[in-house]
Amino acid sequence: MHDQLAAWDKKYIWKPFTQMKEYQEQETIVIERGEGIYLYDRDGNAYIDGISSWWVNTLGHNHPVLNEALHRQIDKVAHCALAGLSHEPAIRLAKELVEVLPPGLGHVFYSDDGSTAVEVALKMSFQYWVNSGRPEKTRFVALEGAYHGDTLGAVSVGGIDQYHQVFRPLLFEVFRVPAPRCYHCPAGCRPDSCDCECLEPMAAVLEKHADEICGVIIEPMVMAVAGMYVYPAAYLRRLRALCDRCDVHLIADEVAVSFGRTGTMFACEQAGISPDLICMAKGLTGGYLPLAVTAATDRIYEAFWDDYDQGKTFFHGHSYTGNPLGTAVGVRNLEYFREAGIIAGLQEKTVYFQQQLQRFCRLPHVGDVRGIGMIGAVELMADGEKRQPYPAGQRIGKRVTDICVRNGAFLRPLGDVVYFLPPLIITPPEIDRLFDIAYRAIEQVTGS
């Protein structure tokens, strides 16, 4: 059975973000169970879930409180439509979210995952302007290096050539502007001299083309898939002011960073701003079930409010919109965040996490160490001082994380960036162990 499963895995599954030819040569790790920050394979080997199973898990695996919420709901109803009907978990989760969201975001639209949350936001923003008598506002502004998901609208606003370039003929055009990737600052600034100069091209596009633009979409505080580039809160505050001045929506894609990842419930809180539309998914159910939300301001909601024959309805939805199992877990997840003081508990832990992360600065082939909250990243360079990258073909990042997996820490690279995004419940000794495994793997691969 052991080998049979591994053979079927390779024969029948086409894996995400995977060159299947390469995967044929790799060992198949079949996960059997999870507990806290650990995943266990069928041979009993334990792996620290160093990336929270693609950034979704917050409270750990097999959490008794979330399990119980799921059991309770499954004995009632697993799914029913949300159009024409409603159910308690979806109602409660919407209400509770509005209470914790940045101010002004009063209306919750459910979908299935981060990409669909982004599709909803783009379509809402677009139709808002149609419904408001400004149909000439049809375009979006997006950042170089942005990642917003893999459906075609999300790919259109995405800016990672390796993933997105091949699909360009299928996509809509956007205004693309330089991003606040501080280590590779597009304006050539250093953190100590930065005055958000990189916002200037964004400001120029907005001032010149405001009449054509629906909205600006950004990943608040951290450009995640690009390589966990953390940028200053001042950037967000100034962007908020620019969007207000030019009357365009600010769309915050918090799919990767909401629910405590940056140390606050939502990353926008760090800048004290409220976007017009906010997208969340991943941590919404603590990493249990696919569920997403796009929340909108009253102003946006009201532009869709009219008699049916006025044609202002938002015609969008998915079969599993607002699924009762997902929303039931989502409600319990939010309650548990409150009861267990998860956000308050992060204050000390994030300091420890960020301090310990600094150990990677000692390694000669580390160009940059950056982080925020419970996110940390180490960018590997052939020559750190000259900022000379390794040739892409060397797959340095992948070689490092392959060793980490063999040594008990499940990590995946973003190019030559090795990053850490563990469940929020990780303890200081577990943080040490995760970093130790990665440190030794980097030493081994880079020969330092």
Ligand X SMILES: Cc1ncc(COP(=O)(O)O)c(C=O)c1O
Check binding of 413 to ligand X (CB under 6 A): no
Q: Is the separation of the CB atoms in 106 and 276 below 8 Å? A: no
Catalogue the E-assigned strands of 384-432: 409-410, 413-414, 417-420
Binding-site member from 205, 225, 239, 409 for ligand X (CB under 6 A): 225
CA atoms of 368 and 373, how far apart (whole Å): 17
Which of 421, 288, 423 has its CA nearest to residue 357?
Answer: 421
Binding-site member from 90, 251, 255, 445 for ligand X (CB under 6 A): 255
Own/partner pairs for 350-359, CB < 8 Å, 24+ apart?
350/263, 350/374, 352/428, 352/431, 353/431, 356/428, 356/431, 356/432, 356/435, 357/420, 357/435, 359/435, 359/439
Comparison of 116 and 446: residue with beta carbon closer to ligand X:
116
Check binding of 390 to ligand X (CB under 6 A): no
Check binding of 147 to ligand X (CB under 6 A): yes
Check binding of 231 to ligand X (CB under 6 A): no
Burial class (CB in 10 A: 0-12, 13-18, 19+), 235: buried
For the CA atoms of 353, 191, 414, 152, the dihedral, rounded to the nearest 10 degrees, stands at 120
Comparison of 148 and 349: residue with beta carbon closer to ligand X:
148
Residues 201-220 that bind ligand X (CB under 6 A): 219
Binding-site member from 34, 36, 60, 149 for ligand X (CB under 6 A): 149
Residue with tokens 């304006």, as numbered in its chain:
187
Comparison of 215 and 384: residue with beta carbon closer to ligand X:
215
Q: Is the separation of the CB atoms in 43 and 3 below 8 Å? A: no
Residues 275-304 that bind ligand X (CB under 6 A): 281
Amino acid (one-letter) located at 101: L
Comparison of 96 and 254: residue with beta carbon closer to ligand X:
254
Question: What minimum distance in Å lies between the beta carbon of 219 and ligand X?
Answer: 5
- The mark string for 86-125 relative to ligand X (x by CB under 6 A, - otherwise) is ---------------------------xxx--x-------
Comparison of 255 and 438: residue with beta carbon closer to ligand X:
255
Which of 310, 258, 295, 361 has its CA nearest to residue 110?
Answer: 295
Check binding of 263 to ligand X (CB under 6 A): no
CA atoms of 218 and 142, how far apart (whole Å): 7
Question: What minimum distance in Å lies between the beta carbon of 141 and ligand X?
Answer: 16
Amino acid (one-letter) located at 371: G
Check binding of 185 to ligand X (CB under 6 A): no
Check binding of 224 to ligand X (CB under 6 A): yes
Comparison of 375 and 405: residue with beta carbon closer to ligand X:
375
Binding-site member from 49, 96, 119, 253 for ligand X (CB under 6 A): 253
Binding-site member from 61, 87, 139, 148 for ligand X (CB under 6 A): 148
Amino acid (one-letter) located at 242: L
Question: What minimum distance in Å lies between the beta carbon of 290 and ligand X?
Answer: 7
Q: Which residues bind ligand X (CB under 6 A)?
A: 113-115, 118, 147-149, 219, 224-225, 253, 255-256, 281
